[in-house]
Amino acid sequence: LPSEVPVLAELMREGGYDTAALVHNPVVSEDFGFARGFTSWDSATARTAWSLPRTRSTMEARPFAAHLAAAAQLWGRRDFFNADDLARGGLAIWEARRADHPLFLWMHFLDCHFPYRRASEVGEVSWARRMTLERGDAHLFRADPWWAEAEGRAALGSAYRAEIAAVDRAILGFLEALGPPTDR
């Protein structure tokens, strides 16, 4: 988007709002202009830029120890943000806000996208298939025809619903912590 075209955060800031963003999706990055207009920008990209090495399939940066553990298939990829992290971060921004200014806060959740970090909640699925869900390795996922069968689709749907439920709980907790709406 050309810089002369205003974005919502810029308009909100110009209108007297404090602007803050917590972004879970590394594709929604400052490199693509998504940070424009935000006074406070906290993203997966900013938090993980220092980490090496990157995964082969997603180019996601991660700490070396997590890389070794995932390579040894001890557990799935480390998630840098999850719904609870974003909700806690949003509350921290809310509590630190200037009371005399309205706040425009964007929290971008990504938990409902592959990989599914809560694959342990899927039920009776083999360890290797749970790791396919948790690691988010699309190559392994596509290589296993079981995922196209009814049982595999059901497990995938269960993993997806577990992620949605976690995001719902985090958002509900965030809203409850804000308290009732006021006439500010």
State residue 178's pLDDT score: 92
The pLDDT mean for the chain works out to 81
And the tokens for 120?
A: 């342990």
pLDDT digit string (tens) for 29-75? 888 889 999 999 988 655 544 444 445 555 555 555 655 555 555 44
* Banded model confidence at residue 115, pLDDT cuts 50, 70, 90: confident
Are the CB atoms for 159 and 119 separated by under 8 Å?
yes
* DSSP label of 122: S
Q: Which of 68, 86, 90, 85 is nearest to 77 (CA)?
A: 68
Tokens of 81: 């943000």
Residue type, 105: L
User: What is residue 78's predicted lDDT score, i.e. its pLDDT?
Assistant: 42
Q: Higher pLDDT residue, 118 or 3?
A: 3
3-state secondary structure of 43: strand
Question: How many angstroms separate the CA atoms of 56 and 47, rounded?
Answer: 19
Q: How far apart are CA 37 and CA 60, in angstroms?
A: 26
